[in-house]
Amino acid sequence: MQSRLMKSGGARSIIQKQRALMQQQVRTMRGAVEPVLPEMPATSFTPAPYTGPTKEEVETKRSQFLSPALLTYYKKPIMLVQGNMQYLYDENGKRYLDVFGGIVTVSAGHCHPKIIKAGQDQMAKLMHTTTIYYHPEIALFAEELAAKFPKDSNLKVTYFVNSGSEANDLAMLMARLYTGNSEIVALRNAYHGMSQGTMGLTALHTWKYPVSHGQGIHHALNPDMYRGPFSDFAPESAAEKYAWDVKNLIEHGTPGKVAAFICEPIQGVGGTNVPPPGYLKQVYQTVRQHGGLCIADEVQTGFGRCGTHYWGFETHGVTPDIVTMAKGIGNGAPLAAVTTTPEIARTLKERIHFNTYGGNPVSSAIGRATLKVIDEDKLQQNSLIVGKQFKDGLEKLKEKYDIIGDVRGMGLMLGVELVKDRKTKEPATQETAFLFERMKDYGVLVGKGGLYGNVLRVKPPMCITPEDVEYVLAVMDLVLDEM
């Protein structure tokens, strides 16, 4: 009788309701107080009424005319039609707090008025010209970008491109041309782009297609201080052991000799993994001793997001030979760059190398405005102060809920790893998906990643306020309590 009832949807519904009632009774018996969700912080911005096609119509058009490979978030995707600073709005005017920065592309805030004006003004003058002609915006942008690097680094020559994938492809080309070597060392769990070349660098298997991604790519151990093989060691000892793996790989696994080592100062898609102190110093020394170059992928960590420094590599006390950047460099505009030394940059003169839209006047104007806004609005300082508030709040939630296994990161680049058991560290993948979905229902858009999809990725626009952070923490607390 019971087995037959279990097969029916009605029976399952009754059981679920009974279980919820029992849980409520237990809370009442314990004298627990139900968390009260505060209102989202007030804003003076009012979105314009939306008059375009319905969400259903857009969904139909996407299915008919766009690639089926396009990824969408959430079981029921949302449609966003307007943005203002840290907030986004759907077609019905519902407001969302963006805690993922439009996938980390928005550094200064959605539709920042100064950045919008810079793009509009330039668009009205000249929308496009390539680098075969002179134009002031690209030259000024390159000069202002060079000023953001350490003065003693000699990182002052930039090649502008359109995406992070293209930037990393170009960095590999430069390294191979300059050194005359062919082998590239990357890290396991890394993500460096979606072009065929950068898929070879990317070690997250879910981002790769079963085709050849080019020769000469090797992956060293990910210096993961939570899940890695040396996670039980002191940070200094772990750094030595992880760095030794790179040394061993270069000396015994790169027959064509090493051209470059590439890594993110903090892994982004991989789950906000921060290498232990001293790791990059040792690795950079080894790579250079063997004739290779060091590439820092700053696509997600750059432009003040880490709080203490403008660039992620600075937090490790190292200086790379090549820096790649995208996303936050244009506050959402399709803009990316490779900055290196004059000597390394000169290698591209051996042949013709050309990018039609790299350094486009409008993109350059937007990039220049973004640099200014980051300084004028003190967004790096905000990343440091509000990021600490955010991380401290997440640590308090970790004390309250055993499902939170680790809180890590710096500034406004944070990660929260969920586990079923803190001792075994079994990934809580389904629970993370539930939390991810429910936070959206309460108006908070957060990311998720990591090899097992069990890490919440917290990377909001750097203009986020303390009140916004308290709202996010309250929502997370409420949903964790529901779970």
| Mean pLDDT of the 370-379 span | 98
pTM of whole model > 0.85?
Answer: yes
Share of residues in the chain with pLDDT > 70 (%):
92
| pLDDT in the model for residue 26 | 40
DSSP 118-132: HHHHHHHH-S---TT
Half-sphere exposure (Cβ direction) of 160: Cα atoms closer than 13 Å = 28
| pLDDT in the model for residue 254 | 83
Q: Are 456 and 391 in contact (CB under 8 A)?
A: no
Q: Are 300 and 266 in contact (CB under 8 A)?
A: yes
| pLDDT in the model for residue 50 | 97
Question: Residue 391 and residue 285: Cα distance in Å, rounded?
Answer: 32
Tokens 């966003």 belong to 80
Residue 9 confidence (pLDDT) above 50:
no
Q: Where residue 28 falls among pLDDT bands split at 50, 70, 90?
A: very low
Element (H, E) at 79: none
| pLDDT in the model for residue 102 | 83
Q: Are 202 and 164 in contact (CB under 8 A)?
A: no
| pLDDT in the model for residue 35 | 57
Question: Residue 311 and residue 302: Cα distance in Å, rounded?
Answer: 5
Among 235, 237, 203, smallest CA distance to 222 is for 203
| pLDDT in the model for residue 8 | 39
The pLDDT tens digits of the residues spanning 32-90 come to 555 577 799 999 999 999 999 999 999 999 999 999 989 899 999 999 999 999 999 99
| Mean pLDDT of the 146-172 span | 97
Question: Residue 302 and residue 155: Cα distance in Å, rounded?
Answer: 15
The pLDDT tens digits of the residues spanning 306-338 come to 999 999 999 999 999 999 999 999 999 999 999
Biggest CA-to-CA distance, the chain: 82
Of 10-19, 186-195, 451-460, the range with the lowest mean pLDDT is 10-19
Q: Across the strands, what pairs with 461?
A: none
For 102-120, give one letter per residue: b (16+ CB within 10 A) or e: bbbbbbbbbbbeebeebbe
| pLDDT in the model for residue 167 | 98
Residue 10 confidence (pLDDT) above 90:
no
As to burial, measured by CB atoms within 10 angstroms (0-12 exposed, 13-18 middle, 19+ buried), residue 423 is: exposed
Q: Are strands 87-90 and 80-84 parallel, antiparallel or unpaired?
A: antiparallel
Q: Where residue 16 falls among pLDDT bands split at 50, 70, 90?
A: very low
Mean pLDDT of the chain: 92
The CATH code that applies to domain 113-376 is: 3.40.640.10
| pLDDT in the model for residue 34 | 54
104: Cβ–Cβ under 8 A, 6 or more apart, which residues?
268, 299, 300, 305, 327, 328, 459
| pLDDT in the model for residue 399 | 98
Residue 5 confidence (pLDDT) above 60:
no
Residue 92 confidence (pLDDT) above 50:
yes
| pLDDT in the model for residue 116 | 98
Domain segments of the chain as ranges: 55-110+393-482, 113-376
DSSP 217-241: EEEEPP--TTTSTTTTS-HHHHHHH
Tokens 């640099």 belong to 371
| Mean pLDDT of the 376-394 span | 98
The pLDDT tens digits of the residues spanning 205-238 come to 676 776 777 679 999 999 999 999 999 999 999 9
Question: Residue 181 and residue 310: Cα distance in Å, rounded?
Answer: 31
Amino acid residing at 304: G
| pLDDT in the model for residue 256 | 83
Question: Residue 206 and residue 434: Cα distance in Å, rounded?
Answer: 20
Question: Residue 204 and residue 222: Cα distance in Å, rounded?
Answer: 11
Q: Are 115 and 373 in contact (CB under 8 A)?
A: yes
The pLDDT tens digits of the residues spanning 426-437 come to 999 999 999 999
Q: Are 327 and 162 in contact (CB under 8 A)?
A: no
110: Cβ–Cβ under 8 A, 6 or more apart, which residues?
83, 84, 85, 86, 87, 88, 98, 102, 332, 461
Half-sphere exposure (Cβ direction) of 230: Cα atoms closer than 13 Å = 20
Identify which has the larger pLDDT, 119 or 70. 119
CATH 3.60.110.10 fits 55-110+393-482, yes or no: no
The pLDDT tens digits of the residues spanning 235-282 come to 999 999 999 999 999 999 888 899 999 999 999 999 999 999 999 999
| Mean pLDDT of the 139-155 span | 97
Amino acid residing at 31: G
Question: Residue 272 and residue 259: Cα distance in Å, rounded?
Answer: 26
As to burial, measured by CB atoms within 10 angstroms (0-12 exposed, 13-18 middle, 19+ buried), residue 291 is: middle
| pLDDT in the model for residue 6 | 37
Question: Residue 445 and residue 33: Cα distance in Å, rounded?
Answer: 26
Identify which has the larger pLDDT, 224 or 16. 224
